[in-house]
Amino acid sequence: MINKLDDAFRFQQEALGLLSRRQEVLASNIANADTPGYMARDIDFTQQLKHATENQALAKSSVSLSLTSSRHIEAKATPFDDPQLLYRIPDQPSADGNTVDMDRERINFADNAVKYQSSLTFLGADIKKMMSVLSQG
């Protein structure tokens, strides 16, 4: 029963994780808009979600923390130099080598935020459906 529930929520869980990671990358691009030589990065969301839903581990490049006690909660983080991040090709390269286009970054950031909120809404609706079924049975 738990495996069926886990499978039912896996898609939204993976999508939320990827959208969250992409939001971090876009925020980093915006924060480094004036950094000379900074190259804007992004995630190929469609490709990454496809890999995640095919049960290929997204966390292959994750970093795990050392546990010093059996009561500690295991945590994982993605390294800064993530091989899944792609460099963005600039429309107009700047003289200092920075490839951040603030208009594009703002649009992508807002679009990603809407997709994240939509995924949360879909997940909430799925949970409400499950709760309704469980309360009737």
pLDDT digits (tens, 9 = 90+) for 39-86: 999 999 988 888 887 754 444 445 556 778 888 777 665 554 567 788
Q: What global pTM score does this model have? A: 0.73
Written as six digits, the tokens of 35 are: 């950094």
Half-sphere exposure of 125 toward its Cβ, with a 13 Å CA cutoff?
7
Q: Residues 81-109: what's their mean pLDDT?
A: 88
Q: Residues 15-21: what's their mean pLDDT?
A: 93
**Residue 37 · residue 87 · CB < 8 Å:** no
Least confident stretch, 54-58, 108-112, 123-127: 54-58
**Residue 90 · residue 33 · CB < 8 Å:** no
**Which residue is associated with the tokens 């809407």?**
114
CA distance 51 to 98: 31
Residue 2 pLDDT = 66
